[in-house]
Chains A and B, each alone.
Chain A
Amino acid sequence: MAMQVFKYQDITRKPNPMRILNPLAKASNEVVDLLDRIETLERTNAWKKLIKQWQEQGKMLDPDLLPKVARMGLGKLDIANDIQRQLDAGHCAKTIANPTRFMEQLVQALNCVVTSDGKWLSIDGQHTATVIASLIRAGLVKGVNADNWRDFEVNVLYVETDDLAFARKAFGILNGKGKKQQSAYSNLRTSVYVVRIDKNTDDEEDVAIERKVAIAEKYDCYPVEINSSLNKHPGTFTNVGIFKARSDEVIEESCKWHNTYFHQDSIHVSLFFMFDELAKNKAKLTDKFLRELAGLIQNIFVDLDGYAEAVKEAFRKFTKKQYGEEMNWRDDAYIVGLLQLYKELGGTERVPQLLLDTYSDLHLYFADEIVEYAKAA
Chain B
Amino acid sequence: MTNYYFYIVQNLRGRLGFGIAKDYVERNKQYSAHSGDLIAFPLLYAGPEMKCKALERQFKKYTIDDIWLVDEWRTEWWNDYVTLDNVKEMVTDAIERKRLLEVKLFTTDYNFEQGYL
Q: Is the interface of B mostly helix, strand, loop or mixed?
A: helix
Size category of the A interface is 20 to 34
Q: Give the Cβ gap from B56 to chain A, nearest Cβ, in Å.
A: 10
Q: List the B side residues contacting A11 at CB < 8 Å.
A: 97-99
Residue A190 CB within 8 A of the other chain: no
Q: Which of B50, B61, B62 contacts A306 (CB 8 A)?
A: B50
Q: Determine whether B53 belongs to the interface, using a CB cutoff of 8 Å to chain A.
A: yes
Smallest CB separation, B66 vs chain A (Å): 11
Question: In the bound complex, how far is the Cα of B54 from the Cα of A305, in angstroms?
Answer: 8
CA–CA, A178 and B5, complex, Å? 45
Bound-state Cα–Cα, A306 to B60, Å = 14
The answer for the CA separation of A373 and B62 in the assembled complex, in Å, is 27
Quote the shortest CB–CB distance from A111 to chain B (angstroms): 33
- Which of chain A's residues have a CB closer than 8 A to the CB of B50? 300-302, 306, 310, 369-370, 373
Cβ contact of A229, chosen from B54, B65, B99, cutoff 8 A: B65
Q: When chains A and B are docked, how far (Å) is the Cα of A298 from the Cα of B54?
A: 11
A49-63: which residues lie under 8 A (CB-CB) from chain B?
none
Partner of A302, one of B1, B64, B96, B100: B100
A12 to B99 alpha-carbon distance, docked (Å): 10
Q: Evaluate whether A232 and B64 lie within 8 angstroms (CB atoms) in the complex, with A45-B71, A303-B98, A305-B57 already known.
A: yes
Interface size on B, residues (CB 8 A): 19
Residue contact A309 to B1, C-beta cutoff 8 Å: no
- Neighbouring B residues of A367 by C-beta, 8 Å: 49
A298 and B100 alpha carbons, distance in the complex (Å): 9
Closest A-chain residue to B99, C-beta based? A9
Q: Does B48 contact A (CB under 8 A)?
A: yes
User: Cβ of B48 and Cβ of A306 under 8 Å apart?
Assistant: no
Q: Collect the chain B residues with CB atoms within 8 Å of residue A229's CB.
A: 64-65
Total number of A-B contacts with CB less than 8 angstroms? 49
Chain A residues with Cβ below 8 Å from B97 are: 11-12, 264
Contacting residues, chain A, for B1 (C-beta < 8 A): 369, 372-373, 376
Question: Main SS of chain A's interface residues?
Answer: helix
A94 to B49, CA, bound (A): 53
Interface string of A262-285 (1 = CB under 8 A from B): 001010000000000000000000
Residue numbers in B under 8 Å from A300 (CB-CB): 50
- Expressed in whole angstroms, the Cα–Cα distance for A373 and B2 within the complex equals 10
Instruction: For the complex formed, measure the closest distance between the CB of A33 and the CB atoms of chain B, giving whole angstroms.
Output: 28
Q: Which residue of A12, A232, A310 is within 8 Å of B62 (Cβ)?
A: A232
Question: Contacts A369-B1, A373-B1, A373-B48 given: A302-B98 contact, CB under 8 Å?
Answer: yes
Minimum CB distance partner of B49 in chain A = A369
Within 8 Å by CB of B99, from A45, A298, A309, A372, lies A298
CB-contacts of B1-38 with A (<8 A): 1-2
A45–B53 CA distance with the chains assembled, in angstroms: 33
| Chain A, Cβ-Cβ closest to B71 | A45
User: B99: which A residues are within 8 A, CB to CB?
Assistant: 9, 11, 298, 302
A305 and B98 CA atoms in complex are apart in Å by: 12
Q: Enumerate the 8 nearest inter-chain pairs by beta-carbon distance, A residue then B residue, closest first.
A: A302-B54, A232-B61, A369-B49, A306-B54, A9-B99, A264-B97, A306-B50, A301-B50
Interface pairs (17), CB distance under 8 Å: A229-B65, A232-B61, A232-B64, A264-B98, A301-B50, A302-B50, A302-B98, A302-B99, A302-B100, A303-B54, A306-B54, A306-B57, A310-B50, A369-B2, A369-B48, A373-B48, A376-B1
17 new A-B contacts at CB < 8 Å, known A12-B96, A232-B62, A302-B50:
A9-B99, A229-B64, A264-B98, A298-B99, A301-B54, A302-B51, A302-B54, A302-B99, A303-B54, A305-B54, A306-B53, A367-B49, A369-B1, A369-B48, A373-B1, A373-B48, A373-B50
Which residues of A are interface residues toward B (Cβ below 8 A)? Answer: 9, 11-12, 45, 229, 232, 264, 266, 298, 300-303, 305-306, 309-310, 367, 369-370, 372-373, 376
